[in-house]
Amino acid sequence: MSGETSLPTLLRSMTPRLNPGVYVFCSIESLKQLGDIEPLGSFREREGLTVIISQAQAQQLSLKTDYIAAWLTLEVHSALSAVGLTAAFANALAEHGISCNVIAGYYHDHIFVDASQGQQALAVLQQLSRQAATQE
């Protein structure tokens, strides 16, 4: 399996990045509803297909949205089997009143927070990484 599994290494080298733009989670019946738009992510649930797309794309398609998010990426290549990383950053964000929705990609963890808290979330994650680096 590829990717880092050591929690101390993951925390000190997570290198959070705030991606440009604002994103929304929408529930649709089929990818066909998106036309030529490729979603950033998707997940099939019993109730429908959740897709993550830009807010502008959702508006263009007149899709219902109720959560406008900023998207952060942890640049460290974390193994899918790594233990504790999600808990560590979710707890750090929660301590600052920031909820997060997490998508684990093959290489990186992606965190969606309320769009108004994107910069604050970035600062919290950077601080968490600095703290982990000083604990060695």
Intra-chain end-to-end CA distance of the chain, in Å: 26
pLDDT tens column, 31-55: 999 999 999 999 999 999 999 999 9
pLDDT tens column, 55-113: 999 999 999 998 999 999 999 999 999 999 999 999 999 999 999 999 999 999 999 99
Burial class (CB in 10 A: 0-12, 13-18, 19+), 22: middle
Is pLDDT of 9 > 70? Answer: yes
Burial class (CB in 10 A: 0-12, 13-18, 19+), 77: middle
Question: Where do the domains of the chain lie?
Answer: 7-134
What distance in Å separates the CA atoms of residue 111 and residue 94, rounded to the nearest whole number?
13
CATH fold, domain 7-134, is VC0802-like (3.30.2130)
